Structure formats: C-alpha cells, structure tokens
Amino acid sequence: MSETKSCKNNLIIFTGPSGVGKGTIVKQLFSEMEKIKFSISCTTREMRPGEKEGVNYFFKSKQEFEEMIAAGEFLEYAEFVGNLYGTPKSFVDDTLASGNDVFLEIEVQGAIQVMKKCPEALTIFLIPPSLEELERRLRNRGTETEEVLQKRLEKAKEEMKYTGQFKYTVVNDDVDIAVRKLKALILGARA
C-alpha cells in the first residue's frame, strides 16, 4: 500500500496533550458532521472500562504490534508513556476511498510523523487554557496513578512546544466554541 494513498486531501490530524479534552471534542464534532470517519488506532495499552475492540482501538500485544511495524503496516506509530500506538494504513486508505474524510486523533509524536509524509493534511493542535487546568482535568479523570499523571503532565509541557508546527491551534476553554472552530476548519478544507 503506498503512502500517497493515505496522504490524499481530507486527512485531518488532530492532537494535543493528554487530558486536554480531545475525546469530548471529537464526540460532539462527530455527532454534528457527516462524511467524516474516525481513524481507529492500534495500541498496546490495556483496555479501559467502557472501551471496545475495533471501536476505540485495535488492542494488540507488543509482539503483534512489532510484527505490524516490521511489515510496514502503519502510517505512523509512536511510544507514549510506555505503550505503543499506531495508525493502520489500510484503515485510512479504505476510509478515504469510500469518500469520507479521515480524522486522526493521535499523539503528538505520531502527528508529526504523518505531517512529514502528508504535508497537505489539515493539522490541528488542541491546547488547554492553562497547564493548571490541564492538571485539574487529568486528576478529575481518575484513570491514572500519581506517577503516570506526573509523566503525562511532563509530556504535555514537552508537547506544547510543537504547536507552531501545526496549521491551526484551538484552545479548549469552551467545548461548543472549540467544536465550532473545528467544524469551520474542516468545512474550509473540503472547499
């Protein structure tokens, strides 16, 4: 499968630090837009309560994931807080071929990999109003140990340095406003 297939127009790369509210934004965005499909990534992390195989992620063992890397099956992949995440090329290609936009919600490392391969993609970095607010959101989620939470906060500080490499930055201080901005960017890219 060629990388150029995966790099067609209407590839939307959406990223931001852990806890910034990407999932909330995406859920509302997808309830309001048509002709857009969420790219399902592979991961080696454990399934969280409420998640489903093939809906939230394709959950893989580390060995399965490494075999997919060796076979060149990813558009991008990255390690994040001890787990591997990757975007399967075939899923992206099939979705674009069906006439839909592909929405990649991926970690910053992976987003940068895809941006290098696909410079025409619509790239959006979601940021929190402040690092203090980001910490509050992560704590309220209650899904990580204190050690993992601190790693995520340190990683967020590093990731925020990359905002200038993205075509657009959206502040998530109000979900409705952030969703409206994303819709406008996507509709503009379609035009």
Tell me: pLDDT of 154 over 60: yes
Residues 6+ apart with CB under 8 A from 37: 95, 98, 100, 101, 102, 103
For the domain spanning 3-190, the CATH number is 3.40.50.300
Domain ranges of the chain: 3-190
Per-residue pLDDT at 4: 46
> For the CA atoms of 153, 154, 155, 159, what is the dihedral angle to 10 degrees?
100
Instruction: State the sign of the Cα–Cα–Cα–Cα dihedral 103, 167, 172, 157.
Output: positive
What does pTM read for this prediction?
Answer: 0.81
Sorting pLDDT into bands at 50, 70 and 90, what band is 9?
A: low
Phi and psi (nearest 5°) for 106? Answer: -135, 165
176/140: higher pLDDT: 176
β-strand partners of 57: 41, 53
- Model pLDDT for residues 51-63, shown as the tens digit of each residue: 999 988 999 999 9
